[in-house]
Structure 1
Amino acid sequence: MRIRVVSSREEIFTLNPNERLVHLAFRPSNKDIFGLVETCPKIEVIQLPKSYRRTVSKSIEMFLEMQRIQLLEGDVWGHRKDINEYYSIPSSVIEKIKEMKIEGRPAKEIEKKVSRESKLNPEMIAYILTKETPA
């Protein structure tokens, strides 16, 4: 599973229309988010750093909710954009989630444990849980 890292508003319009997970590494305006949704009609998740997430307007939150797009808080730790434009979620993390789900562990426990071990936020773990391991 890969997250497309976008580091500037100019980059939004060069994205592949099939992107599903996008991390915005800049403080987006409402116009930037509308542009992202328009450029990537299949988008499912927009991830923002904690400090930027708090500045998103209620109207954008409602718009994304109506479009069924999740707005998550989180970082892509240790990612270097100059080397690769995608942050790959390690397969070991996905395997750990699958193992715990097979063991019958509750979703909240999986989110908490894997989040602590992988530095991914619990919301992203919850998304992976629903996408990679259908019930």
Structure 2
Amino acid sequence: MKIRVVSKREEIEKLDTDEKIIHLAFRPSNEDIFNLVKRCKDVEVIQIPTSYRRTVSKSIEMFMEMQNIKLIEGDVWGHRKDINEYYTVSPAIAERINALRSEGISDEIIAEKLSREGKLKKEMLFYILSQS
């Protein structure tokens, strides 16, 4: 799974229109979110750092909910945008999810366990769990 990292609002207009998961590494305004959703019609998840999450307006939250877009907190630790514009979630995460599911462990416990072990927050893990 790949997460498209956007570090500047100017990059929004250059995004591939098929992007599904986007991490905004800057504090987005309402206009930035609208432009992003307008550009990427199939976006499913917008991830922003925890410190920026508190600044997102209620109207944008409602807009995203109506568009069935998940707004989640999180970061892409250790990612170098100058090397690759995508952060790749390790295939080992999917393997670990499958192994834990085969043991009959619930998604809640899997997300809790993997969030402690890795770099992903529970919200992103729940999204990954829903996709696998």
Give TM-score scaled by structure 1 length: 0.96
Aligned pair count? 132
Match of 1:82 in 2: 82
The 5 Å alignment of 1:56-67 reads 56-67=56-67
Tell me how large the CA RMSD over aligned residues is.
0.6
The separation in 2 between residues aligned to 1:113 and 1:62, in whole angstroms, is 30
Tell me, which stretches of 5 or more residues in structure 1 are unaligned? Answer: none
The 5 Å alignment of 1:13-24 reads 13-24=13-24
- Specify the SS of the correspondent of 1:19: coil
User: Cα deviations across residues 1-41 of structure 1 (Å, max 9, x unaligned)?
Assistant: 00000000000010000000000000000000000000000
Deviating beyond 2 angstroms after TM superposition, the runs of 4 or more aligned structure 1 residues are none
Identity %: 61
Higher mean alpha-carbon deviation, 95-104 vs 108-117, is at: 95-104
Match of 1:101 in 2: 101
Give TM-score scaled by structure 2 length: 0.98
Tell me, which stretches of 5 or more residues in structure 2 are unaligned? Answer: none
The 5 Å alignment of 1:1-135 reads 1-131=1-131, 133=132
Amino acid at match of 1:46: I
The separation in 2 between residues aligned to 1:35 and 1:103, in whole angstroms, is 43
User: Cα deviations across residues 93-121 of structure 1 (Å, max 9, x unaligned)?
Assistant: 11101211122101110001011111100
The separation in 2 between residues aligned to 1:79 and 1:2, in whole angstroms, is 12
